[in-house]
């Protein structure tokens, strides 16, 4: 019997970096994971410019929600995203990151093996 894939909430804090956010969302749109099994929550941590124009092109590719809060720093933004998350598994990435296409697939494999734990991954700096 095939095991159901976990539903992920991908939480992305951002502040005044629309170009980097667009790159991050582009990479998330290329994830090799069923679209109905993950959501993306972008938290605008008080940016000076509106980020809806950055997020809008991805609305037909991703289940993405844009939240805005007063500037509180990335940890506060992550907490805001976690409060709104619907996923069984919370995942965090930053706006200047481009997760690999198999990122959620690899996480799902680990959580299927041992469902209660935290996992970190390899980070390659640009």
Q: What is the pLDDT of residues 67-124, one digit of tens each?
A: 999 999 999 999 999 999 999 999 999 999 999 999 999 999 887 777 666 777 776 6
pLDDT digits 0-9 by tens, 30-76: 999 999 999 999 999 999 999 999 999 999 999 999 999 999 999 99
For residue 96, count other CB atoms closer than 10 A to its CB: 14
pTM for this model (two decimals): 0.92
Comparing CA positions, the residue from 30, 123, 21 lying closest to residue 77 is 21
Helical (H) or strand (E) element with 95: none
Q: What pLDDT does residue 124 have?
A: 65
- Nearest Cα neighbor of 15 from 39, 49, 41, 40 is 49
Confidence of residue 4 (pLDDT cuts 50, 70, 90): confident
Q: Helix H segments across 14-125? A: 18-29, 52-55, 74-84, 103-113
pLDDT of residue 112: 73
What's the angle, vertex CA 42, arms to CA 69 and CA 35, rounded to 5? 150
Q: What is the DSSP letter of 71?
A: S
């Amino acid at each position: 019997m095939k095991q159901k894939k976990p539903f992920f909430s991908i939480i992305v804090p951002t502040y005044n970096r629309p170009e980097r956010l667009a790159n991050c969302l582009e990479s998330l749109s290329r994830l090799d994971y069923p679209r109905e099994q993950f959501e993306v929550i972008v938290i605008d941590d008080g940016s000076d410019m509106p980020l809806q124009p950055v997020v809008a092109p991805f609305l037909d590719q991703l289940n993405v929600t844009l939240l805005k809060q007063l500037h509180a720093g990335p940890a506060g933004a992550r907490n805001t995203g976690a409060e709104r998350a619907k996923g069984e598994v919370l995942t965090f990435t930053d706006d200047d990151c481009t997760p690999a296409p198999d990122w959620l697939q690899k996480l799902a494999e680990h959580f299927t093996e041992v469902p209660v734990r935290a996992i970190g991954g390899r980070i390659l700096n640009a």
